[in-house]
């Protein structure tokens, strides 16, 4: 149970949220035509005769799009319907060449499923919640109108027309902005693992219609509104917050929430009415007579299942249980499939170089990735995908630390140089003379010099202020430009300070 | 020298192959007939004599080189203007597509050109194939070459929607033509004009590139002078097309080679529900003769029942308009065809103006009916119910075909009616398809063959309906009738 409550003038309110997520299916061609689907192409350069709805043109289902939707359904443990059907949703608009959208109303491809979200990312050991998913159906996207090309006319770009979408419809199971955000993030993570959608919300590959209503805790559902085409996790959370607030204020002022479609304005952080239920279209859904029912055989389903990768929950548990990572590290590394892939290459290479099992080097590798590399990349405004350091390069660096060639402190410097130059760790250490010294004579000389220069502090230390030990270590390392072997420095200092 | 335009598909194909005459001579003959008849019959929307000659020259050149000429080698044909013709105006007889020249060729027409046929022109039809008299064409109605024997010279309907096709073949403007049949649009015009026509099993011919009327019913087929010609042309038209998801993935049988009028061991079903009260006496007599002819050909005649027949027409007039209302939504003035943009009009006003101006009255009527039956609150009462009826009708045929191999019935309840006689009474017009529609709803192969003349001197057709995929059985029963009817009447050349 979520404790999220909206404080109204008359008491507490609970928000109820359901999301309809439109996810563009990753495929080379459209749902019912052979036209390409690349993002950002010249207007109307990816339009087949079918997409433009020329007379006599017919849709033919793209098997790969169906396959991706089925795999997605399997990834959320959903029922896959071996018999489904396409329906026409009829309405007129200039970006809809056929005058209807081919969708699935009556018999969707994927039925009931669910996914689990962690309610507080900072507390991965904390409680989880299962969010129900009612269905996934497959449908065509529409084209795009361009209103800024001509003073009195609108232009139409049909590149998106006919692109395959999955509409993933949740149950009204979410009760706070954070839950809605966590659900959308988790869904995006699963889609990217499965490879059925790239999840690029800023390019419109994934967008959500946010259904919000409010009620007194424990009472019946209130009337909901639907805010269309929200294109980031942050905005979804903001929509829930502002729309719930608006509804509470409205009701408390004696008004009534009307069922309507709304639009989100990120600049003002408010939603505004687009059309009410009374203006809603009568879509006149009926089975598309150009298409036979979609019947899936067991071999196809088996192939879909066999091709599923390890999914985020399973991976997180494996990282915790088999690799011994902390819940936090496991959560961070498995949230995005690209991070997990990067980490696994790093882990394999690190273990190989050390001649050890992955479990033995996993902590070192995960800590370095999360605290060192992420931080360094962040400063450069880069992500893992455009990191100048490869996972193999990272493994090379970790090996140098593991075998004592360089210290952890030097490793930070080496990483910075790797990011700047793109050179390998060993080459940098060699070139810059960063190898750690185990020469006790040199260390003793450095320690003697430090103690001599800080006679007052030596006296304080000997007088019982043992915390000063770290100061002497730091000074010695500084004098040795960080190259002194830390264990030896410790030993010599202990001996000399007596 | 014989008049080459008196020859049918097989005779032209064989004559060209043997060198009795050239394909160019044939094309020239038909081109001349097309031009001479256009003012009187209005069978073509666009004539393409150069296309016919071009294909003929190619056939003659192939023959000179000793190359195979194809199933339709040297045969010029008329193309119903519902099939997209690359670079040639394709209108569905509508104003909204006037001037539209596709950049693609329909699968069926391409197959015909690949088989050696040439195009005489684009044939007139009822607008978007909606009609049974060819009176809904934006380009004016087709006049049947037939006239009653009463000396009155009243202009008669060639049937519809493939009325240009039927008139052209009957008047010797083409040895054969393509038709499409949604609820009788090949069979009824064939019956009205004394020619043969077959609607194959749904899915035999690709629908790709055919302007859609009602997708679950539309099916292309040949219209020609006799059964053999239909068999030849259907072989050239049929075949699996991956671009049509409803296309049948089955090999195309050699129907011509399989032709046989010997029906020994076959059973012919006579559906008792088709014998309706007040049936036209000549039509009833023609049906009885047909029964005798099939007995004579060796068949056993059995009584069968198709109990849901009376619901077929109402179900058809829900399903077909429902699909049409959606199929015709793409004609919106945005991308091609007519755009009517009044001063200061917004998008909705552009749609309204374009579609009000671009569609004829019958098309609008069907769009309205179709929109209504799919509307919230009416869908179950109309569309869902009609689909149930459709299933029952298919079941009727399945049951009947446990007792017989083909079914014999009249093609239409009357001979050709006069132009204008039914325009103000759409229900009577719709009733003209009462015998044709059940086979359409069931997706079954069905053909009309000429069976004689009525007392007014007008042709009557007999219809054979077969099991799914059994075009051969249909063609063979048609051949048995043809051999006994010995139909040789043709319209006088009054134009």
CB pairs under 8 A between A and B: 98
- A60/B92 Cβ within 8 A: no
Q: Does B250 touch chain A (CB under 8 A)?
A: no
Considering the domain boundaries, does residue A248 fall inside one? yes
Q: Do both A157 and A244 map to the same domain?
A: yes
pTM: 0.91
Q: Is residue A466 reached through a cis peptide bond, with omega within 30 degrees of 0 on the bond before it? A: no
Dist CA B304 CA A213 (whole Å): 61
Q: Which residue has the higher pLDDT, B388 or A440?
A: B388
Please, which residues 284-323 of chain B have a Cβ atom closer than 8 Å to chain A? 322-323
Contacting residues of B for A90, CB less than 8 Å apart: 325-326, 329, 374
Do A224 and A204 fall into the same domain?
Answer: yes
The answer to whether the CB atoms of B379 and A54 lie below 8 A apart is no
A279 pLDDT tier (thresholds 50, 70, 90): low
- Output the pLDDT for position B423: 81
Q: What is the pLDDT of residues A49-107, one digit of tens each?
A: 999 999 999 999 999 999 999 999 999 999 999 999 999 999 999 999 999 999 999 99
Residue of B98, B218, B329, B349 best to disrupt the A interface, most CBs of A under 10 A: B329
Nearest beta carbon to residue A94 from set B209, B329, B334: B334
Per DSSP, helices labelled H in A63-176 are 63-75
Question: Does the residue A152 lie in any domain?
Answer: yes
Residue with tokens 């809809």: A96
- Say whether A100 and B90 touch across the interface (CB within 8 A): no
With cut-offs at 50, 70 and 90, classify the pLDDT of residue A110. very high
Q: Are residues A215 and A337 in the same domain?
A: no
From chain B, the residues in CB contact with A49 under 8 A are 103-104
A253 and A359 fall within a common domain: no
Last residue of a domain, which of A416, A432, A448? A432
Mean per-residue pLDDT over chain A, rounded: 93
Domain boundary among A382, A400, A432: A432
Q: Report H helices in A403-439.
A: 408-421, 425-432
Cα separation, A429 vs A482, in Å, equals 12
- Cis omega (within 30 of 0) for bond into B287: no
Q: Give bridge partners of residue A7 from the DSSP assignment.
A: A12
Cα Rg of chain A, angstroms: 29
Instruction: Enter the tokens of residue B455.
Output: 């007392």
Q: Does B375 touch chain A (CB under 8 A)?
A: yes
**Nearest partner of B187 among B444, B394, B5, B493, judged by Cα:** B444
Q: Which chain A residue is nearest to residue B216, measuring alpha carbons? A: A289
Q: Which of B245, B351, B383 is the closest to A61 by Cβ?
A: B245
Q: Are residues A269 and A129 in the same domain?
A: yes
- Output the pLDDT for position A196: 97
Q: Is residue A274 domain-shared with residue A336, that is, in the same domain?
A: no
The pLDDT tens digits for B238-277 are 999 999 999 999 999 999 999 999 999 999 999 999 998 8
The residue in chain A having the minimum alpha-carbon distance to the alpha carbon of residue B97 is A55
User: What contacts A419, CB < 8 A, 6 or more positions away?
Assistant: A376, A377, A380, A387, A388, A389
Whether residues A388 and A456 fall in one domain: no
Residues forming beta bridges with residue A29, ordered by sequence position: A36
Token pair recorded at residue B443:
């997706």
Q: Which of A1, A4, A20, A13 is nearest to A245 (CA)?
A: A13
Query: Six-digit token pair at B253?
Result: 């049988």
**B452 φ/ψ sector (left φ>0, alpha ψ -120 to 50, else beta):** left
Q: How far apart are CA A137 and CA A85, in angstroms?
A: 10
Asked whether residue A238 falls in the same domain as residue A173, the answer is yes
Q: Which of A118-132, A428-442, B182-196 has the lowest mean pLDDT?
A: A118-132
Alpha helices in A176-326 (DSSP H): 177-194, 233-252, 298-306, 312-321
Please indicate whether, in this complex, the C-beta atoms of B379 and A289 are within 8 angstroms of each other.
Answer: no
User: A18 lies in a domain?
Assistant: yes
Cβ(B484)–Cβ(B296) below 8 Å: yes
Confidence at residue B1, expressed as pLDDT on a 0 to 100 scale? 56
Q: Using the beta-carbon criterion (under 8 Å), do B245 and A286 form an inter-chain contact?
A: no
List all residues of chain A from 97 to 116 with a beta carbon under 8 Å from chain B.
97-100
| Domain assignment of residue A148, yes or no | yes
Going by pLDDT thresholds of 50, 70 and 90, the confidence category of residue B18 is: very high
DSSP secondary structure letters along B53-88: HHHHHHHHHHHHTT----TTTT-EEEEETTB-BTTB
On whether residue A389 sits in a domain, the answer given is yes
Distance of CA B394 to the CA centre of its chain: 21
Average pLDDT, integer, range A137-156: 94
Residues of A in contact with B323 (CB under 8 A): 289
d(CA A58, CA B209) in angstroms, rounded, equals: 8
Number of domains forming the structure of chain A: 3
Residues in chain A: 498
Give me the residue from A52, A282, A291 closest to B375, CB to CB: A282
- Chain segment B411-428, per-residue pLDDT in tens: 999 999 999 998 888 888
Mean confidence (pLDDT) of chain B: 97
Query: What CATH number is associated with residue A472?
Result: 1.10.10.410
At residue A277 the predicted structure's pLDDT band, cuts being 50, 70 and 90, is low
Q: How close, in Å, is residue B151 to chain A by CA atoms?
A: 43
Q: How many CA within 13 A on the CB side of residue B238? A: 26
The domain of A493 spans 440-497
Q: Is A286 part of a structural domain of the chain?
A: yes
- Give the tens place of pLDDT for each residue, B85-133: 999 999 999 999 999 999 999 999 999 999 999 999 999 999 999 999 9
pLDDT at residue number A404: 83
Residue A121, exposed/middle/buried by CB under 10 A (0-12, 13-18, 19+)? middle
CA distance A87 to A108: 10
Residues 252-281 of B with CB under 8 A from A: none
Q: From chain A, pick out residues whose CB is under 8 angstroms from the CB of B325.
A: 90, 284
SS (H, E, C) A56-73: CCCCCCCHHHHHHHHHHH
DSSP class per residue in A196-238: S----GGGTSEEEEEEEEEESTTS-----EEEEEE-SHHHHHH
* Interface probe, candidates B99, B217, B243, chain A, greatest A C-beta count within 10 A: B243
Question: What pLDDT, on the 0 to 100 scale, is given for residue A40?
Answer: 86
Using a CB–CB cutoff of 8 Å, tell me whether A146 touches chain B.
Answer: no
Partner B, chain A 36-55, Cβ-Cβ below 8 Å: 49, 52-55
| Residue at A1 is within a domain | no
* CB-based contact A289 B216, cutoff 8 Å: yes
CA distance A290 to chain B (A): 6
Q: How confident is the model at residue A148 (pLDDT cuts 50, 70, 90)?
A: very high
| Cα(B111)–Cα(A57) distance, integer angstroms | 17
Residue in A closest to B344 by C-alpha = A152
Residue A356 exposed, middle or buried by CB count within 10 Å (0-12, 13-18, 19+): middle
Helix intervals (H) in A355-424: 358-367, 374-379, 391-402, 408-421
The confidence score (pLDDT) of residue A410 equals: 87
Indicate yes or no: CB of B215 within 8 angstroms of CB of A49: no
How far off is chain B from A137, nearest CA to CA, in Å?
20
Final residue belonging to a domain, choices A304, A321, A340: A304
Q: Residue for token digits 């020469």?
A: A439
Is the distance from CB of B96 to CB of B355 less than 8 angstroms? Answer: yes
Q: What is the CA radius of gyration of chain B?
A: 21
Kindly report the nearest CA distance between residue B212 and chain A, in angstroms. 6
Backbone angles phi, psi at B337, to 5 degrees: 75, -160
| Segment holding A166, helix H or strand E | strand A164-170
Q: What are phi and psi of B157, to 5 degrees?
A: -75, 140
The ipTM is 0.96
**A102 to chain B: closest CA residue:** B326
- State pLDDT tens for residues A362-411: 999 999 999 999 999 999 999 999 999 999 999 999 999 988 888 888 89
Strand partners, A226: A211, A261
Q: Would you please indicate which residues of B are annotated as catalytic (active-site) residues?
A: 80, 161, 185
HSE of B313 in the Cβ direction (CA atoms, 13 Å)?
13
A97·B334 Cβ contact <8 A: yes
Say if CB B396 and CB B297 are below 8 A apart. no
- Distance separating alpha carbons of residues A361 and A398, to the nearest angstrom: 9
Same domain as A338, residue A464? no
Q: Does residue A129 sit in the same domain as residue A250?
A: yes
- Which residue segments constitute the domains of chain B, with CATH numbers given? 4-260 (3.90.1300.10)
| Cα first-last separation, chain A | 59
**Same domain? A374 vs A336:** yes
Residues A233 and A363 in one domain: no
Q: How far apart are CA B344 and CA A348, in angstroms?
A: 68
Q: Is residue A140 part of a domain?
A: yes
- By Cβ distance, the residue of A49, A88, A292 closest to B326 is A88
SS3 B264: coil
Q: Are A262 and A272 in contact (CB under 8 A)?
A: yes
| Shortest CA gap A297–chain B (Å) | 18
Q: How far apart are CA B492 and CA A36, in angstroms?
A: 57
Which residue in B has a C-alpha nearest to residue A61's C-alpha? B245
């Amino acid at each position: 149970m979520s404790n999220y409550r909206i404080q109204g003038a008359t008491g507490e309110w609970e928000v109820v949220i359901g999301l309809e997520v439109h996810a563009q299916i990753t495929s080379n061609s459209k749902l019912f035509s052979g036209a390409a689907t690349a993002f950002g192409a010249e207007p109307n350069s990816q339009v087949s005769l079918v997409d433009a709805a020329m007379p006599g043109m017919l849709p033919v289902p793209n098997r790969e799009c169906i396959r991706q939707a089925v795999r997605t359904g399997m990834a959320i443990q959903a029922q896959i319907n071996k018999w489904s059907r396409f329906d026409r949703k009829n309405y007129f608009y200039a970006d809809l060449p056929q005058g209807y959208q081919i969708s699935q109303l009556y018999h969707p491809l994927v039925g009931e499923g669910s996914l689990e979200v962690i309610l507080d990312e900072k507390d991965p050991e904390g409680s989880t919640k299962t969010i129900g998913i009612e269905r996934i159906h497959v449908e065509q996207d529409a084209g795009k109108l361009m209103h800024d090309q001509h003073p009195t006319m609108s232009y139409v770009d049909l590149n998106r027309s006919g692109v395959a979408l999955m509409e993933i419809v949740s149950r009204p199971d979410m009760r706070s902005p954070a839950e809605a955000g966590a659900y959308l993030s988790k869904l995006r993570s699963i889609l990217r693992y499965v490879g059925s959608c790239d999840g690029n919300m800023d390019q419109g590959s994934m967008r959500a219609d946010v259904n919000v209503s409010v009620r007194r805790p424990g009472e019946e559902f209130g009337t909901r509104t639907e805010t269309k085409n929200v294109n980031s996790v942050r905005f979804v959370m903001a929509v829930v917050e502002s729309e719930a607030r608006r509804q509470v204020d409205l009701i408390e002022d004696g008004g009534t929430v009307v069922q309507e479609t709304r639009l989100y304005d990120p600049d003002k952080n408010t939603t505004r009415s687009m059309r009410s239920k009374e203006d809603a279209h009568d879509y006149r859904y009926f089975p598309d007579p150009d298409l036979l029912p979609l019947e899936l055989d067991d071999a196809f389903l088996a192939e879909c299942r066999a091709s599923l990768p390890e999914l985020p929950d399973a991976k997180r548990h494996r990282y915790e249980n088999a690799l011994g990572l902390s819940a936090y590290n496991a959560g961070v590394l498995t949230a995005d499939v690209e991070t997990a892939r990067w980490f696994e290459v790093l882990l394999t290479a690190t273990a190989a170089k050390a001649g050890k099992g992955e479990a033995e080097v996993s902590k070192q590798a995960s800590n370095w990735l999360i605290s060192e590399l992420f931080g360094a990349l962040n400063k450069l405004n880069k992500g893992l995908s455009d990191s100048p350091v490869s996972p193999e390069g990272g493994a090379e660096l970790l090996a140098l630390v593991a075998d004592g060639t360089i210290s952890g402190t030097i490793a930070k410097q080496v990483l910075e140089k790797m990011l700047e130059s793109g050179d390998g760790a060993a080459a940098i250490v060699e070139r810059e003379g960063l190898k750690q010294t185990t020469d006790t004579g040199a260390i003793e000389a450095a320690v003697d010099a430090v103690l001599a220069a800080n006679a007052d502090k030596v006296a304080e230390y000997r007088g019982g202020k043992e915390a000063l030990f770290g100061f002497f270590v730091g000074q010695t390392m500084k004098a040795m430009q960080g190259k002194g072997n830390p264990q030896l420095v410790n030993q010599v200092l202990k001996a000399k300070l007596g | 020298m014989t008049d080459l335009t008196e020859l049918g598909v097989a005779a032209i194909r064989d004559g060209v192959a043997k060198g009795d005459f050239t394909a160019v001579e044939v094309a020239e003959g038909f081109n001349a007939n097309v031009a001479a008849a256009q003012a009187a019959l209005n069978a073509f929307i666009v004539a393409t004599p150069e296309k016919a000659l071009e294909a003929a020259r190619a056939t003659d050149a192939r023959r000179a080189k000793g190359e195979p000429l194809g199933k339709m080698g040297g045969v010029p044909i008329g193309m119903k203007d519902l099939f997209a013709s690359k670079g040639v105006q394709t209108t569905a007889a509508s104003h909204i597509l006037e001037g539209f020249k596709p950049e693609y060729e329909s699968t069926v027409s391409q197959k015909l050109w690949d088989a050696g046929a040439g195009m005489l022109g684009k044939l007139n039809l009822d607008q978007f194939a909606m009609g049974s008299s060819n009176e809904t064409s934006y380009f004016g109605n087709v006049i049947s070459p037939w006239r009653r024997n009463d000396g009155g010279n009243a202009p008669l309907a060639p049937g519809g929607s493939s009325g240009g096709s039927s008139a052209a073949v009957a008047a010797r403007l083409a040895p054969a033509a393509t038709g499409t049949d949604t609820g009788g649009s090949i069979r009824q015009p064939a019956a009205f004009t004394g020619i043969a026509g077959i609607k194959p099993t749904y899915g035999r011919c690709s629908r790709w590139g055919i302007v859609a009327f009602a997708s679950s019913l539309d099916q292309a087929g040949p219209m020609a002078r006799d059964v053999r010609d239909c068999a030849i042309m259907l072989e050239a038209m049929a075949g699996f097309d991956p671009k049509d998801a409803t296309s049948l993935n089955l090999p195309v049988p050699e129907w011509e080679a399989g032709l046989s009028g010997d029906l020994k061991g076959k059973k012919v079903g006579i559906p008792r529900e088709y014998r309706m009260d007040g049936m036209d006496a000549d039509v009833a007599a023609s049906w009885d003769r047909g029964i005798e002819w099939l007995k004579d050909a060796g068949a056993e005649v059995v009584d069968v029942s198709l109990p849901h027949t009376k619901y077929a027409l109402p179900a058809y007039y829900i399903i077909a308009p429902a699909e049409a209302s959606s199929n015709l939504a793409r004609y919106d003035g945005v991308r091609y065809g007519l755009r009517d943009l009044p001063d200061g009009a917004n998008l909705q006003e552009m749609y309204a103006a374009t579609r009000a101006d671009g569609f004829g009255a019958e098309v609008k009527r069907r769009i309205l009916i179709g929109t209504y039956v799919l509307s919230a609150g009416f869908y179950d009462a109309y569309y869902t119910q009609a689909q149930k009826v459709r299933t029952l009708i298919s079941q009727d045929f399945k049951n009947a075909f446990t007792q017989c191999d083909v079914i014999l019935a009249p093609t239409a309840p009357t001979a050709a009616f006069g132009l204008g006689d039914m325009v103000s009474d759409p229900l009577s017009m719709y009733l003209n398809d009462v015998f044709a529609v059940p086979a359409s709803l069931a997706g079954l192969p069905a053909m009309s063959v000429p069976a004689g003349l009525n007392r007014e001197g007008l042709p009557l057709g007999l219809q054979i309906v077969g099991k799914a995929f059994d075009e051969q059985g249909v063609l063979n029963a048609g051949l048995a009738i043809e051999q006994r009817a010995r139909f040789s009447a043709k319209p006088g050349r009054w134009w």
